Chains A and B, each alone.
Chain A
Amino acid sequence: MDDFFDNWTVQVRKGVLELFILTSLEKKERYGYELVKTLVAVPGVEVAEGSIYPLLSRLKRQGFVETRLVESESGPARKYYSLTASGKKKTVAMRSYFDGLVNGLNILEEGESK
């Protein structure tokens, strides 16, 4: 039973990780490790560097995020990620879909209770 749950959570996390990354970039640009720390702080999102960095690269290739280098006082320039216009649209659409799913669950739950 535990194994089943573990596998299921892994699948869910995997499925929504992109939405979490895009959402976390909606308000401000972030650098890679900052993103890792932000997402790790979110309950239930157990994320590792190994997932975030390749995903950021992919999102960049797909044109949903862009990067810029910001000079750092303590060393080389740091790469910051932010949403592109297309990324913003995609985030809204994904969020809407995700909210729809959660809403669907609520409707199901409410129906059962009636």
Chain B
Amino acid sequence: MNDLEWTDAARSRWEQFLDAKVRAACLDVESAHDLREDLTLHFEEELARENCQMVTKERVHRAVVSLGGDPPVEKAEVESKRKSRSRSLASGAARGFLIMFGVVMPLVVFALEFFTGMCGSTFFAPLGTWIHVVLVAFTVTSNWWLLTKRSHRTPLKWRALAAGASLAVSGFYGLLFVPLLPLSFLALIVFGMGLLSLTPVLNALATWNIARGHREAGNSEWSVWWKRGLLGGILVLLMIESPSVWTRVALSRALSEKDSVAQSGVAQLRFFHREKTLLRACYEGNRGTTMSTDISGWMADGWQLMIPFLWDQPLRDFNSEEVRFIYYRVTGDSFNSQRPPSFITKSSFLGGGRGGDSAGVQWDDHLGGEDVAVRLANLDMVESRMDGHIDASTALAYQEWTMVFRNKNSDAREARMQILLPEDGVVSRVTLWVNGEPQEAAFSSKSKVRAAYQAIAVRQRRDPVLVTTTGPGRVLVQCFPVPADGGEMKIRIGMTSPVKNGQVATPFLLEKNFGVASDLETMVWMQGPKEFSYRNEKTSHPDGEGQSLQLRMPAIRIQKEGAYFESEQEVAKVVWCKDQFAKAGEENLIRRWATEERPSLTKCIVVVDGSESMRSFASEIQKAITEIPDFRNKVTVVIADDGVSQIDLLKHRFKGGRDNGPALEWALTKAREEGNSAVVWLHGPQPLQSNANEALAQLLERGSSEVPLYSVAFKPGGNRLLEKLFQFRSVQMGPRLSNGVGDLEPWLKDLVVGGPEQVAEWSRVADGEAVEGAKVWDQLARWWAAEKVRKGMRQQSAESEAIEFAAKYQLVTAFSGAVVLETAQQYKDHGLEQVDSSTTPNIPASPEPGTWLLLLIGGVASLMRRKRSS
């Protein structure tokens, strides 16, 4: 029968007949539909019996006659029509409502939200993921379909299923927008705009009524399938939202002021959480961003914003720092080590973009502060270059890291990062390009350079860069403003560091608030007088009299693993350099190596961070410890799991993020009791403030003996504990692990067992006096100064003399920092003195073996002096 072909005229005549029948009978919508279907089927069956293929107007006419002909339009009918006109009007209005709020307005609101993120940037993101987009699109489509006549040709069960499912979704969204009703009515009255936020609620009502239009009371088939659709829709919503809601509920418990509830909340999150939701919560609230929440956040507490008069707390005001703390406690990772969460719609109703994503309305309250803090979208490192000189004969290296940042946001941004320096390294040069010209830094007290930075950067929004120390071998670099709309900022950090056991590590990023593209390569140029290699992978090439190597370092090497160069060149026994900053009569600085016997430790207490981030290293750590001779007596291993645990390392369940403070406090106390002991702290990121801070500071500051505390970072990330303790000289940097965890074993063995050790002995003579040994580069003098500062006082303090000393040698130390400003006037206004570019350290222009040449020169000079004296 599907082969039947109707002429247009036949179809028109048939429809005319049916319309007349319906009109004459004054039927309601459902009865009219039944009558039409019955008559049409009856006619089509008749045609089938005749084997009719083509339905013509004449055939229709005959059918009409056989069915009693066109019903006459009688007076009574006209009268009835008049009476039913009001009913029709009401029915038309109802249908209009269904079309308007079942299809048209939801479609408008859906499109508006999808393309502008209007609600998402103001209240919450109703279309946070593609699944939400599909669900809402399904509801609109289903309503539209159910309102068409065509849908009646589809089997009842499909219509019932669609109606049930769309009611589940629209009902859910309707409920989400209920808290906005007061605001919607107000906005409707005042601005005429509240209809948008009213639409989801009205859509739920319309969807319900559309379903009712199809419902057949007493028909169990409809009821069964409609319920199945409804249940299916609810199940899908539960599957999508339950993990997020669970996370939000557990998070609110974890934030409780009651300890038992808070601990239970953290345990709940450790048992299960949705990473994306937890990360999003870190960006909501009052610390750093205005990122709006998602559906689960709105359900949890965001809706309270809309009905402030019902609540004591009129604003959603939770401390996002606390949420970030919870994030670490649960995951063992810093929140800013992850890419910031984003919604699928990028733009914003306000034109600038959603807070946290790109952000006209976003602010960064860490600007000029001392935290790396929130990751900013569209702020990226776009160029990276390292140049260095490794001179193993002087056991010193100098590396410069040049970085370019680009900001695609609509307003200026501050790039912040923590850099892990080469082992025992020190920042000795900071440069900023202003209008294409390199500008050198001024070195002064931390407070002074920070004050200048804040005044110039934050208030005047001009170009400074600031470098301060945040831990042993860790510096915080801040530069602002990286200009908006694709603007760039270029800086360079110079680092002086020792070459230890022939190796020097490259610096890398511990923490950052900008993005680094995974395909960004760092162009590395390393040179030196003698052959050297890169990670045992590439070897340098002859370059004139020296050696050089250029390579492309992948992004992972500046973010996660680090890298190192190795030279087998022997260390010269005696070297000297001209110290340009020394007072008269002491211009020549001489270093001699002496061998001292370092005694074996009585006890080495190894504190292992019990956080998730250390899980994968447990067996390697265990192996490194068991390799130490007499390790059972010499080494005590404790696990920092918010307290002190001495269970077998391999049996410990590394989970979440742990406060290492109490374990360190226990270890320092124990080491002090034992005497001649050290504490080795093996840790991942530690982005939380510990309650043990002051106790630790006291243990490091007081008492007759100093216990060395070595920090060995296994994973990049901020360390708030080190930031509080690094001013104590006993807090030192352990191995950088640039070559992997395998580096731990020899270092640990060497530390515990002791043995002969090379110690530098320094002396000075006046310029012109006979000096033995080879003259080398002035990095020697900077290194001497850095060591003097580091080993100087037990607790490094910002005494003016010490600050002057560090500033004179252009060093970033525990109490001195570097700042680059834009103009000479700015330096003057802040009592700072920009360093003379002729005094800054430099990569030697060529990798020629200065030592060899200078040895020769030195030898000749010595001979001449002898000749003169004779």
Chain A interface residues toward B at CB < 8 A: 31-34, 48-51, 53-54, 56-57, 60-61, 63, 65-69, 71-79, 84
| Docked CA distance A50–B34 (Å) | 11
A60 touching B217 in the complex, CB below 8 Å, given contacts A49-B25, A54-B27, A54-B31: yes
By Cβ-Cβ distance, the 4 closest A-B pairs, closest first, are A50-B25, A33-B38, A53-B31, A74-B1
Residues facing A in B15-45 (CB within 8 A) are: 21, 24-28, 30-32, 34-35, 37-42, 44-45
Decide: A67 and B216 in contact? CB cutoff 8 A.
yes
Contact code string B150-162 (vs A, CB < 8 Å = 1, else 0): 0011011000000
- Closest B-chain residue to A64, C-beta based? B218
- Closest B-chain residue to A65, C-beta based? B218
Q: For the complex formed, measure the closest distance between the CB of A10 and the CB atoms of chain B, giving whole angstroms.
A: 12
- Closest A-chain residue to B156, C-beta based? A69
Kindly list chain B residues whose C-beta atoms are within 8 Å of the C-beta of A72: 41
Q: For the complex formed, measure the closest distance between the CB of B4 and the CB atoms of chain A, giving whole angstroms.
A: 8
Q: For the complex formed, measure the closest distance between the CB of A89 and the CB atoms of chain B, giving whole angstroms.
A: 15
Kindly list chain A residues whose C-beta atoms are within 8 Å of the C-beta of B39: 33
Which of B28, B34, B41 has most A Cβ within 10 Å? Answer: B34
- Closest B-chain residue to A40, C-beta based? B68
| Chain A to chain B contacts (Cβ below 8 Å), 15 pairs | A33-B39, A34-B38, A49-B21, A50-B26, A53-B31, A54-B27, A56-B34, A61-B217, A61-B218, A68-B219, A74-B41, A74-B45, A75-B41, A78-B41, A79-B38
| Docked CA distance A53–B34 (Å) | 8
Kindly list chain A residues whose C-beta atoms are within 8 Å of the C-beta of B153: 75-76
Decide: B48 and A74 in contact? CB cutoff 8 A.
yes
Decide: A57 and B31 in contact? CB cutoff 8 A.
yes
Chain A interface secondary structure, helix, strand, loop or mixed?
A: mixed
Kindly list chain B residues whose C-beta atoms are within 8 Å of the C-beta of A49: 21, 25, 27, 35
Decide: A67 and B27 in contact? CB cutoff 8 A.
no
Decide: B156 and A84 in contact? CB cutoff 8 A.
no
| Docked CA distance A76–B159 (Å) | 14
A79 touching B37 in the complex, CB below 8 Å, given contacts A60-B217, A61-B217: yes
| Docked CA distance A97–B778 (Å) | 122
* Beyond A49-B35, A76-B37, 5 additional pairs, beta carbon < 8 A: A60-B216, A65-B218, A66-B220, A67-B219, A73-B48
Q: Is B221 an interface residue (CB 8 A)?
A: yes
Decide: B28 and A54 in contact? CB cutoff 8 A.
yes
Decide: A63 and B218 in contact? CB cutoff 8 A.
yes
Residues facing A in B313-346 (CB within 8 A) are: none
Q: For the complex formed, measure the closest distance between the CB of B336 and the CB atoms of chain A, giving whole angstroms.
A: 60
Kindly list chain A residues whose C-beta atoms are within 8 Å of the C-beta of B37: 75-76, 78-79
How many residues of B are counted as interface, with CB atoms below 8 angstroms from the partner's CB atoms? 31
Q: For the complex formed, measure the closest distance between the CB of B821 and the CB atoms of chain A, giving whole angstroms.
A: 81
Decide: A66 and B219 in contact? CB cutoff 8 A.
yes
Kindly list chain A residues whose C-beta atoms are within 8 Å of the C-beta of B220: 66
Q: For the complex formed, measure the closest distance between the CB of A93 and the CB atoms of chain B, giving whole angstroms.
A: 20
Q: For the complex formed, measure the closest distance between the CB of A50 and the CB atoms of chain B, giving whole angstroms.
A: 3
Decide: A75 and B44 in contact? CB cutoff 8 A.
yes
Cβ-defined partner of A56 (8 Å) among B24, B31, B32, B41: B31
| Docked CA distance A29–B55 (Å) | 30
Decide: A66 and B218 in contact? CB cutoff 8 A.
yes
Residues facing A in B142-193 (CB within 8 A) are: 152-153, 155-156
Q: For the complex formed, measure the closest distance between the CB of A54 and the CB atoms of chain B, giving whole angstroms.
A: 5
Chain B interface residues toward A at CB < 8 A: 1, 21, 24-28, 30-32, 34-35, 37-42, 44-45, 48, 152-153, 155-156, 216-221
Kindly list chain B residues whose C-beta atoms are within 8 Å of the C-beta of A66: 218-220
Q: For the complex formed, measure the closest distance between the CB of B382 and the CB atoms of chain A, giving whole angstroms.
A: 63
Decide: A67 and B218 in contact? CB cutoff 8 A.
yes
Kindly list chain B residues whose C-beta atoms are within 8 Å of the C-beta of A33: 35, 38-39, 41-42
Decide: A77 and B155 in contact? CB cutoff 8 A.
yes
Q: For the complex formed, measure the closest distance between the CB of A35 and the CB atoms of chain B, giving whole angstroms.
A: 9
Q: For the complex formed, measure the closest distance between the CB of A52 and the CB atoms of chain B, giving whole angstroms.
A: 9
Decide: B1 and A75 in contact? CB cutoff 8 A.
yes
Which of A53, A63, A65 has most B Cβ within 10 Å? Answer: A53
Q: For the complex formed, measure the closest distance between the CB of B480 and the CB atoms of chain A, giving whole angstroms.
A: 70
| Docked CA distance A114–B42 (Å) | 53
- Closest B-chain residue to A36, C-beta based? B38
Decide: B218 and A84 in contact? CB cutoff 8 A.
yes
| Docked CA distance A49–B35 (Å) | 8
Kindly list chain B residues whose C-beta atoms are within 8 Å of the C-beta of A34: 38
| Docked CA distance A68–B220 (Å) | 8
Cβ-defined partner of A60 (8 Å) among B26, B40, B152, B218: B218
Decide: A57 and B25 in contact? CB cutoff 8 A.
no
| Docked CA distance A111–B38 (Å) | 49
| Docked CA distance A78–B40 (Å) | 11
Kindly list chain B residues whose C-beta atoms are within 8 Å of the C-beta of A53: 25, 27, 31-32, 34-35
Q: For the complex formed, measure the closest distance between the CB of A82 and the CB atoms of chain B, giving whole angstroms.
A: 10
| Docked CA distance A58–B37 (Å) | 19
| Docked CA distance A24–B518 (Å) | 79
Q: For the complex formed, measure the closest distance between the CB of A110 and the CB atoms of chain B, giving whole angstroms.
A: 40
Q: For the complex formed, measure the closest distance between the CB of A66 and the CB atoms of chain B, giving whole angstroms.
A: 5
| Docked CA distance A48–B35 (Å) | 11
Cβ-defined partner of B221 (8 Å) among A68, A71, A73, A78: A68
Kindly list chain B residues whose C-beta atoms are within 8 Å of the C-beta of A68: 219, 221
Q: For the complex formed, measure the closest distance between the CB of A98 and the CB atoms of chain B, giving whole angstroms.
A: 25
Kindly list chain B residues whose C-beta atoms are within 8 Å of the C-beta of A60: 216-218
Kindly list chain B residues whose C-beta atoms are within 8 Å of the C-beta of A79: 34, 37-38
| Docked CA distance A68–B155 (Å) | 11
Kindly list chain B residues whose C-beta atoms are within 8 Å of the C-beta of A31: 38
| Docked CA distance A77–B40 (Å) | 12
| Docked CA distance A1–B141 (Å) | 60
| Docked CA distance A54–B35 (Å) | 10
Kindly list chain A residues whose C-beta atoms are within 8 Å of the C-beta of B26: 50
Kindly list chain A residues whose C-beta atoms are within 8 Å of the C-beta of B221: 68-69
| Docked CA distance A62–B42 (Å) | 28
- Closest A-chain residue to B26, C-beta based? A50
Kindly list chain A residues whose C-beta atoms are within 8 Å of the C-beta of B41: 33, 72, 74-76, 78
- Closest B-chain residue to A37, C-beta based? B42
- Closest B-chain residue to A33, C-beta based? B38
Decide: B156 and A78 in contact? CB cutoff 8 A.
no
Cβ-defined partner of B155 (8 Å) among A50, A69, A73: A69
Kindly list chain B residues whose C-beta atoms are within 8 Å of the C-beta of A69: 155-156, 221
| Docked CA distance A44–B25 (Å) | 20
Decide: A57 and B42 in contact? CB cutoff 8 A.
no
Kindly list chain A residues whose C-beta atoms are within 8 Å of the C-beta of B218: 60-61, 63, 65-67, 84
Kindly list chain A residues whose C-beta atoms are within 8 Å of the C-beta of B48: 73-74
| Docked CA distance A53–B40 (Å) | 15
Q: For the complex formed, measure the closest distance between the CB of B45 and the CB atoms of chain A, giving whole angstroms.
A: 5
| Docked CA distance A51–B1 (Å) | 30
Kindly list chain A residues whose C-beta atoms are within 8 Å of the C-beta of B35: 32-33, 49, 53
Q: For the complex formed, measure the closest distance between the CB of B75 and the CB atoms of chain A, giving whole angstroms.
A: 15
Q: For the complex formed, measure the closest distance between the CB of B24 and the CB atoms of chain A, giving whole angstroms.
A: 6
Q: For the complex formed, measure the closest distance between the CB of B538 and the CB atoms of chain A, giving whole angstroms.
A: 75
| Docked CA distance A57–B29 (Å) | 11
Q: For the complex formed, measure the closest distance between the CB of B553 and the CB atoms of chain A, giving whole angstroms.
A: 69
- Closest A-chain residue to B45, C-beta based? A74
| Docked CA distance A63–B217 (Å) | 8
Decide: A50 and B219 in contact? CB cutoff 8 A.
no
| Docked CA distance A51–B48 (Å) | 29
Decide: B40 and A57 in contact? CB cutoff 8 A.
no
| Docked CA distance A65–B27 (Å) | 19
Decide: A57 and B1 in contact? CB cutoff 8 A.
no
- Closest A-chain residue to B220, C-beta based? A66
A75 touching B155 in the complex, CB below 8 Å, given contacts A57-B31, A66-B219: no
